Amino acid sequence: MKAFVTGGTGFIGSHLIEFLLNKGFKIFALVRDLNNLKWLKGLDIHFLKGDLFSIPPLPRDIDHFFHIAGISKASNVADYYTVNQQGTASLFHSLHAQNISIKKIIHLSSLAAAGPSIDGKPVQEAHEPHPITPYGKSKLLGEFEALKFKDTFPLVILRAGAVFGPRDIDFLEYFKWIRRGILPSLASQTRLLSICYVKDLVKAAFLSLLKEYESGEIFNIANPNPCSWNEFGQAAGLTMGRPLKKVSVPLSILYIASLLSDILSKISKKPSVINRYKFKDMKQERWTASTEKAKQKLSFSPQYSLQEALQETINWYYSHNWL
């Protein structure tokens, strides 16, 4: 079996490629810089130089296609749409122009495209999307671009919850606070979110190849049991063996910090994990999604408990001196 992967040098894409290699797949990876292979260095992969706007000629016998490339933070709002929407459109038009017969395309999206929960009810795939940030809106528009080709290619869209795991940098700063013995707590309300361990997400992507369903189906992928930030932090503290002191962070302070981070990001031209749009995400009471559809149609259920996933993640951070 042959698979083509975009975003392979990134956090999620590199885990996917390692999984597929272990399953006996022959991998072709789209890479912008052949001198910067990151996590893919030394792996038995066929690298193709290019990007979403310059797709090189692809092998005619590619079986499966995984579109993982995208950006989740940017110093310029327009960049979200350039990569997540326009890049996806360019990619699919190129695949169509090359007239490649692909058995299935897995398009990675995000729960941010669906928006937060309303009235405390988990978001379902059939609900009307209501993204609240440029990132979420750009991911939803990326889905629309992919869906234009659902009659041309067998297509599935995976909306992932907040993804964490080895190699991830977005959760890293939070874990650093936990290691210091501090449990940051936002205001007074309990905020729930659907999280997703990267290896469970990769397994869901693989299951998407094996099952039959209508082209254009959308599946929420996350742990079916939402947790609060406090629960997540306490579980991480237990893994690190750190007693935690809960420190309440008023939303007003977090908002000011996000604005300052935005300013520094624009000056340095380096995206920041904390910005005013991330603040808008974080102040929502519920970022939860139903995964029942994925369970029924993909036979998806997480293989890792929260504690097991955190143990693997934190052990990796320690072994690579990230914590």
Residue 283 has pLDDT above 80, yes or no: no
Exposure letters 226-249 (e unless 16+ CB within 10 A, then b):
bbebbebbbbbbebbeeebeeeee
Which letter does DSSP use for residue 225 in this model?
S
The tens digit of pLDDT for each residue in 230-271 reads 999 999 999 999 999 988 877 677 667 676 766 666 677 677
Give the type of residue at 163.
V
| Segment holding 255, helix H or strand E | helix 251-268
Non-local CB neighbours of 85 within 8 Å, separated by 6+ positions: 138, 141, 142, 144, 145
What token pair was written down for 101? 């017969």
The tens digit of pLDDT for each residue in 204-213 reads 999 999 999 9
How many whole angstroms from its chain centre is CA 30?
18
How far apart, in whole angstroms, are the C-alpha atoms of residue 306 and residue 80? 30
Q: What per-residue confidence (pLDDT) applies to 132?
A: 94
Residue 277 has pLDDT above 80, yes or no: no
Under the banding of pLDDT at 50, 70 and 90, the label for residue 307 is very high
How far apart, in whole angstroms, are the C-alpha atoms of residue 66 and residue 17? 10
Q: What per-residue confidence (pLDDT) applies to 29?
A: 97
pTM: 0.93
Q: What per-residue confidence (pLDDT) applies to 276?
A: 67
Q: What per-residue confidence (pLDDT) applies to 187?
A: 62
Question: Which domains, and CATH codes, for the chain?
Answer: 2-165+194-224+287-302 (3.40.50.720)
Average of per-residue pLDDT across 293-298: 97
Residue of 321, 278, 9, 68 whose CA lies nearest to 172: 321
Average of per-residue pLDDT across 39-53: 96
Residue 188 has pLDDT above 60, yes or no: no
Q: What per-residue confidence (pLDDT) applies to 120?
A: 80
Residue 314 has pLDDT above 60, yes or no: yes
Give the type of residue at 187.
A
* CA-to-CA separations, 75 to 72, 154, 169, in angstroms, rounded: 11, 34, 16
pLDDT above 90 coverage of the chain, percent: 80
